[in-house]
């Protein structure tokens, strides 16, 4: 049993005027689909059945939308009158929980495979916490040069550095560390470094996935552009393109296909049909009349034709 925990109590001042009347997690990334909708559903698809919302600013609006149960997920609320930092919020909830938890910052929109994160953390006996990381996107264009001569321009590329992605698996054995006294109020400057010094903090990473922290209107614009013509599914997402559908199928998930022609854009998987099993690799095209495909790692699949 794993508890879901979402830090959803911030003011979202840099997103005003949107956050004058609603808290940041209730901002829509597409029509009638909020940041918090995606986070709760991602936990549900990973097998989590109860989520604890650490709320504050305009938390009544969150309660109005989700109540005590939403889409099969039990919802519990922990209210702060004034934000006192992530350490205080987690210290409070961890004094009540008796199971491990998967924690997320309430302003992150990302396609992490949370089922895989949970499994990786549980299999690692040395880890007390496992932190999801993502490659840093440069806020500026990059100029490549040699001997004074410009070779190329790269517009805001991914850098070879990893940042905290805002998703954490925290084992119950780590909870006592949150009860210790610290000078700072942020877990990133207190408990996390403490556990890293002890060699009990590990990372979880996935390449080539969408990730965005919604801290500004420009960030929100990027998220909304990503979610145009996109529908999230329990196994990933489906996105309509001019040339057909694009599917993101997460590791260890499988889907049924009928009369489908597809191409593997990235990742690796297995197709099962006609009583045979075929491994799928990047660049391969295949027609499946009636069968299933299973992702051995996260896969991007282009569907040229499909009927059910």
What's the chain's length in residues?
308
Instruction: Copy the structure tokens of residue 29.
Output: 């990334």
Q: Is 302 a catalytic residue?
A: no
N-to-C CA span, the chain = 36
d(CA 269, CA 263): 12
Report yes or no: 232 and 252 within 8 Å, Cβ to Cβ. Answer: no
13, 74, 96, 156: the active-site residue: 156
Catalytic residue list: 156
């Amino acid at each position: 049993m794993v508890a879901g925990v979402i830090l959803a109590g911030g003011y979202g001042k840099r997103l005003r005027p949107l956050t004058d009347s609603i808290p940041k997690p209730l901002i829509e990334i597409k029509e009638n689909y909020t940041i918090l909708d995606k986070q709760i559903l991602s936990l549900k698809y990973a097998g989590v059945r109860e989520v604890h919302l650490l709320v504050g600013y305009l938390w009544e609006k969150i309660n109005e939308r989700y109540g005590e149960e939403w889409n099969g997920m039990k919802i519990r609320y922990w209210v702060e009158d004034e934000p006192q930092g992530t350490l205080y919020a987690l210290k409070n909830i961890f004094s009540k929980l008796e199971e491990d938890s998967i924690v997320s910052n309430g302003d992150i929109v990302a396609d992490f495979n949370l089922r895989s994160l949970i499994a990786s953390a549980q299999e690692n006996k040395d880890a007390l916490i496992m932190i999801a990381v993502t490659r840093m996107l440069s806020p500026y264009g990059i100029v490549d040069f040699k001997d004074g001569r410009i070779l190329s321009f790269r517009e805001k590329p991914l850098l070879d550095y990893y940042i905290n992605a805002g998703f954490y698996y925290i084992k119950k054995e780590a909870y006592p560390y949150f009860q210790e006294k610290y000078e700072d109020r942020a877990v990133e400057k207190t408990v996390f470094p403490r556990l890293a010094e002890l060699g009990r903090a590990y990372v979880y990473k996935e390449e080539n996935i969408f990730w965005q922290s919604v801290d500004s209107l420009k960030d929100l614009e990027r998220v909304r552009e990503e979610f145009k013509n996109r529908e999230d599914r329990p196994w990933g997402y489906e996105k309509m393109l001019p040339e057909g559908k694009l599917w993101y199928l997460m590791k260890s998930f499988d889907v049924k296909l009928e009369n489908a022609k597809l191409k593997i854009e990235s990742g690796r998987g297995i197709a099962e049909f006609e009583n045979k099993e075929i491994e799928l690799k990047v660049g391969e095209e295949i027609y499946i009349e009636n069968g299933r495909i299973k992702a051995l790692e996260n896969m991007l699949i282009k569907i040229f034709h499909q009927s059910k």
